[in-house]
């Protein structure tokens, strides 16, 4: 599996990248998971074996990286995920909690369900709680009750979008969160969230360490934009692309339905254009794709307006897909609002383009019919498709294996086709971007036929 540009930059620039996974102590408890004998087609008997910490996956398996190693220098590895023969926690005594943070994403309920079923049926854990409304649920002043999670509670939740635990944004006091964990005797905390959750999880782990508590923190990365470093594909992304193609199909139909019809679709992607690029390739009815990684001009001979006008004069219709984080140079960042977590909200590039396109063609005395579609909330709240559901199950199961083994301060990821453990500190604060000289973007340019849209 090819690595993203930013992942490679991190490897090249960081001489202190530490991929070791912190742990709470020596794992001495026999795992309740049993070795399962399996008979092959030719009659051989194989045992379903446990994973060992020595099982590893190369962080970077490219020839360039391996050739750069000095004699005697060890390459970087990620620890392989999976069940361990010895675990740290006594399944009958351990108390676990699950919290979902940040925006909605297809598959969140699938992850919750997988964690609960794995803990209950495979590890015989009986104390599993859901923390309502994200990190707010730990803070007494909000008054959110815990939800007891049992198999019958989560049996059908994967058929619904959103999260049964609800979510919230915004900073909460880290000390109060750890106070709550200690007070209600939580020993494994599963957090489902994106970059903001990773930052909070890192601070929670630091506070836990400072207090010398034995609490494991495991993160299942959630970002519909697919922009977390060292996460090959985030859950919900496949569903998001599928739903985005429906919006593009509608925009194409609208564009064909009127003279000089323009269908404009805004998709999610604050820092990266993965959804826009993949949805474009899934349907191949898009003429212009605008993403945060590729600068573009509006005016000028090579700008979007000129190219769009040429397209309309020759074909009488056009479809434009824009990621929400594209074209932010056209907004004054100092005057943009911030979300409850303190992040600057991107300017609304979709509405901005609607107005600017209409003004441009009005000045050119060319009548256009523009239809604008923003399916963001439809995409965020839909249930996961089958591909994401399978992926979510693997992530949830491997998160449980890691937590029960006493691993902490880590997230579960898929890397080079393997499920691995990633230290939080390796991924936190880093955004994965679409590489402009990658086969993916090259294929987008070939499919759309769009030029660079930049006056040089």
Instruction: Give pLDDT, residue 337.
Output: 80
Domain architecture of the chain: domains with CATH:
5-234+382-427 (3.40.50.450), 238-380+439-448 (3.40.50.460)
Task: Give the C-alpha separation, 146 to 112, whole Å.
Answer: 15
Task: Give the C-alpha separation, 156 to 138, whole Å.
Answer: 26
Task: Give the C-alpha separation, 369 to 357, whole Å.
Answer: 10
The answer for residues whose C-beta is within 8 angstroms of residue 333's C-beta and 6 or more apart is 344
Q: How many CA atoms lie within 13 A of 72 on its CB side?
A: 0
Task: Give the C-alpha separation, 133 to 111, whole Å.
Answer: 16
- pLDDT (tens digit, 9 = 90+) per residue, 274-294? 999 999 999 999 999 999 999
Task: Give the C-alpha separation, 237 to 243, whole Å.
Answer: 10
Task: Give the C-alpha separation, 202 to 217, whole Å.
Answer: 9
- pLDDT (tens digit, 9 = 90+) per residue, 170-212? 889 999 999 999 999 999 999 999 999 999 999 999 999 999 9
Residue 122: strand, helix, or coil: helix
The answer to whether residues 170 and 198 touch, using CB atoms and an 8 Å cutoff, is: no
Distances (CA, A) of 350 to 291, 374, 376: 12, 8, 12
How many other CB atoms are found less than 10 A from the CB of residue 369? 15
Instruction: Give pLDDT, residue 2.
Output: 42
Instruction: Give pLDDT, residue 340.
Output: 67
Could you tell me the two tokens for 237? 């992304």
Task: Give the C-alpha separation, 190 to 216, whole Å.
Answer: 8
Task: Give the C-alpha separation, 310 to 364, whole Å.
Answer: 12
Q: How many CA atoms lie within 13 A of 386 on its CB side?
A: 0
The answer to whether residues 105 and 445 touch, using CB atoms and an 8 Å cutoff, is: no
Summary count for the chain: helices (H), strands (E): 14, 17
Task: Give the C-alpha separation, 126 to 348, whole Å.
Answer: 47
The answer to whether residues 428 and 221 touch, using CB atoms and an 8 Å cutoff, is: no
| Sheet strands (E) in 149-195 | 188-193
Instruction: Give pLDDT, residue 342.
Output: 67
Provide the annotated active-site residues.
225
Task: Give the C-alpha separation, 2 to 232, whole Å.
Answer: 9
Residue spans of the chain under pLDDT 70: 1-16, 35-36, 47-48, 340-342
Distances (CA, A) of 139 to 31, 96, 131, 174, 341: 34, 17, 10, 10, 16
pTM: 0.92
The answer for residues whose C-beta is within 8 angstroms of residue 227's C-beta and 6 or more apart is 195, 234, 269, 270, 271, 272, 274, 431, 432, 433
**Continuous segment of H or E residues that includes residue 282:** helix 274-283
**426, burial (CB in 10 Å: exposed 0-12, middle 13-18, buried 19+):** buried
Instruction: Give pLDDT, residue 61.
Output: 84
Instruction: Give pLDDT, residue 14.
Output: 45
């Amino acid at each position: 599996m090819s690595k993203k540009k930013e992942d490679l930059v991190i490897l090249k620039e960081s001489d202190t990248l530490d991929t070791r996974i912190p742990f709470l102590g020596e794992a001495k408890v026999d795992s309740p998971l049993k070795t399962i004998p399996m008979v092959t087609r030719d009659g051989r008997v194989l045992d379903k074996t446990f994973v060992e910490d020595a099982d590893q996956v190369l962080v970077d398996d490219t020839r360039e990286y391996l050739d750069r190693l000095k004699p005697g220098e060890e390459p970087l590895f990620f620890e392989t995920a999976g069940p361990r023969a010895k675990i740290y926690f006594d399944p009958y005594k351990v108390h676990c909690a699950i919290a979902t943070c940040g925006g909605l994403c297809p598959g969140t309920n699938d992850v919750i369900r997988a964690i609960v079923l794995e803990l209950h049926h495979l590890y015989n854990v009986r104390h599993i709680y859901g923390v309502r409304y994200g990190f707010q649920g730990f803070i007494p002043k909000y008054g959110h009750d815990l939800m007891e999670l049992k198999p019958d509670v989560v049996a059908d939740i994967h058929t619904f979008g959103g999260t049964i635990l609800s979510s919230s944004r915004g900073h909460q006091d880290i000390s109060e969160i750890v106070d709550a964990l200690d007070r209600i005797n939580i020993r494994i905390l599963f957090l489902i969230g994106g970059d903001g959750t990773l930052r909070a999880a890192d601070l929670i782990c630091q506070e836990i360490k400072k207090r010398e508590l034995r609490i494991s923190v495991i993160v299942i990365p959630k970002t519909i934009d697919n922009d977390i470093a060292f996460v090959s594909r985030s859950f919900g992304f496949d569903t998001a692309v599928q739903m985005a193609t429906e919006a593009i199909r509608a925009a194409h139909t609208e564009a064909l339905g009127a003279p000089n019809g323009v269908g404009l679709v805004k998709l999610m992607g604050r820092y990266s254009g993965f959804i826009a690029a993949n949805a474009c390739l899934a349907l191949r009815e898009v003429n212009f794709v605008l993403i945060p990684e590729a600068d573009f001009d509006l005016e000028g001979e090579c700008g979007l307006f000129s190219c769009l006008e040429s397209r309309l004069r020759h074909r009488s219709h056009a479809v434009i897909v824009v990621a929400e984080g594209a074209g932010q140079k056209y907004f004054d960042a100092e005057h943009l609002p911030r979300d409850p977590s303190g992040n600057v909200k991107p300017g609304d590039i979709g509405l901005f383009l609607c107005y600017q396109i209409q003004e441009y063609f009005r000045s050119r005395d060319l009548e256009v019919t523009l239809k604008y579609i923003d399916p963001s909330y439809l995409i965020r709240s839909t249930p996961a498709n089958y591909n994401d559901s399978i992926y979510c199950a693997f992530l949830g199961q491997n998160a449980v294996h890691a937590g029960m083994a006493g691993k902490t301060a880590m997230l579960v990821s898929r890397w080079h086709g393997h499920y691995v453990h990633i230290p939080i500190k390796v991924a936190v604060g880093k955004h994965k971007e679409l590489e402009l000289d990658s086969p993916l973007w090259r294929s987008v340019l070939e499919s759309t036929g769009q030029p660079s849209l930049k006056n040089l």
